[in-house]
Structure 1
Amino acid sequence: MLRFAKLLAKLFVGFLVLSLALVLVYRVVPVPVTATMLFDPNGITKDWEPLSNIDRNLVSAVIAAEDGKFCTHDGFDREAIEEALRRNMEGGLIRGGSTISQQTAKNVFLWQGGGYIRKGFEAWFTFLIEKLWGKRRIMEVYLNVAETGIGTYGAEAGAQRYFNHSANRLSRTEAARMAAALPLPKERSVNNPTGFTRRYGNTIAARIGVVRRDGLDTCIYG
């Protein structure tokens, strides 16, 4: 038992050191690849761009669509988590309530899919990136590793795929359509959205103005 306890202690310390080292490296170095990319049977198309080369419309759109409290929470939106738990207890469609910070932690360091073990690791990495990266870097990484289409990752590759131009000049409509497709990029059309995706995209486009008016992106643009 003593040997087993020592082994567990070494593994725990090793994990802490490795996770801290990775977070510190990715604080300044572009993320080269993620588990999601490696296991994508459709291949990988990506092109890392600094946040300064990504149109503000897309930043505002993902805040409007994914995480309106991005600039004010500490990585976890407790009200959203409680609401998701309540709805899940009632049955039906499982909802997550994840913030952009949590999604970034999952996308960069972990694997897709649910489970309490992964959620525990996700919470740890979310805590680390909030403390060591800050909001601007979290958004930059998120917009470069998020799946934006079949075999397509990041804002730049997505913009080139759908609109044939760089992510540094996305219109509100274009940004909103990309944000609307983010949760299910393999299933939701960006170029010719219909039904829910089209309506949701129009709603996000309208909310971009609210994000600017209410300063919901001030942690990024000051």
Structure 2
Amino acid sequence: MPRLIRRVLIALLVFLLAPYVLILIYRVDFIRPVSTLMLADLVTFQGYDRRWVDFEDISPNLVRAVMMSEDGQYCAHGGVDWKQMRGVVDDALAGEATRGASTIPMQTSKNLFLWNSRSFVRKVLEIPLAMVSDFIWPKQRMMEIYLNIAEWGPGIYGIEAAAQYHFKTSATKLSPRQSSLLAVALPNPMDRVASKPGNGMKRLASLIDRRAKRSGAYITCLYD
């Protein structure tokens, strides 16, 4: 086998296996992972604001709002919501517009190890990463990592920096309304600014707030 091809294959193998090694490392509570977007900001000398905060120091208002907005079955699935995934596949095969089916483990895996643009290859890589990380990490650890690497504005990563940037408060003191606005901003934090919501965003935040207040049966894996 030519040396160049061998090197390419080794590099590809390392690329595919390295995330699984990192999943094991990130299981350790005092490790504070960074996302690929954060690394990109560093490489391009843009910098970023991220202030790690432990799960216990994040307002339950925020945790409930994010879960009910992003992944209502978070406590029930093993990293992938296969029912939602089947719905997306059926819609695609029928030529209909597809809806999002990414779970919090899938989004966390994408943010930590992959890239942002939509592609079939990324999704194929994302699914096993989500399943393995969900198996290895406790649900609280998964949520802690997700909320500390999620993007909430230009160079604003993690819930502590987001709470300070948008509402001049800390992650532990976020109100239900503030939490709901931050939750609905997550899919598009550049256009959806939590501290400057439009009417549509306000209505969506009100819906998420109502869901969050009725979420007791859905969050048993996070709170006793």
TM-score, normalised with respect to structure 2: 0.87
Aligned to 1:219: 221
Unaligned runs of 5+ in 1: none
1:88, 1:95 within 8 Å by CA — same for their partners in 2? no
Aligned to 2:37: 36
Aligned partner of residue 152 in structure 2, secondary structure? strand
Aligned to 1:27: 27
| Residue range with higher mean Cα deviation, 49-58 or 34-43 | 34-43
Aligned to 2:85: 81
In structure 2, the CA distance between the partners of 1:94 and 1:17, relative to structure 1 (3 Å rule), is closer
Structure 1 CA distance for aligned equivalents of residues 4 and 138 of structure 2: 38
Q: Deviations over 1:100-154 (max 9, x none)?
A: 1100010011111111211121112112211111211110000000001121011
Aligned to 1:157: 161
Q: Residue 97 in 1 paired to residue 101 in 2? A: yes
Cα distance, 1:85 vs structure 2: 2.9
Structure 1 CA distance for aligned equivalents of residues 201 and 47 of structure 2: 25
Cα distance, 1:11 vs structure 2: 5.8
Structure 2 CA distance for aligned equivalents of residues 178 and 162 of structure 1: 9
1:135, 1:220 within 8 Å by CA — same for their partners in 2? yes
Q: Residue 137 in 1 paired to residue 141 in 2? A: yes
In structure 2, the CA distance between the partners of 1:201 and 1:30, relative to structure 1 (3 Å rule), is same
Cα distance, 1:83 vs structure 2: 2.2
In structure 2, the CA distance between the partners of 1:90 and 1:201, relative to structure 1 (3 Å rule), is farther
| Residue range with higher mean Cα deviation, 192-201 or 103-112 | 192-201
| Large movers: runs of 4+ above 6 Å | 1-9
| Residue identity matched to 1:39 | A
Aligned to 1:170: 174
Q: Find 2:200's aligned residue among 196, 200, 206.
A: 196
In structure 2, the CA distance between the partners of 1:206 and 1:38, relative to structure 1 (3 Å rule), is same
In structure 2, the CA distance between the partners of 1:164 and 1:118, relative to structure 1 (3 Å rule), is same
Give aligned pairs, total. 219
Give 1:30-69 correspondences, 5 Å limit. Answer: 30-31=32-33, 33-40=34-41, 43-69=47-73
Aligned to 2:128: 124
Structure 1 CA distance for aligned equivalents of residues 50 and 101 of structure 2: 27
Aligned to 1:18: 18
Unaligned runs of 5+ in 2: none
TM-score, normalised with respect to structure 1: 0.88
Aligned partner of residue 190 in structure 1, secondary structure? coil
Aligned partner of residue 121 in structure 2, secondary structure? helix
Aligned partner of residue 61 in structure 1, secondary structure? helix
RMSD, aligned CA: 2.4
Q: Residue 70 in 1 paired to residue 71 in 2? A: no
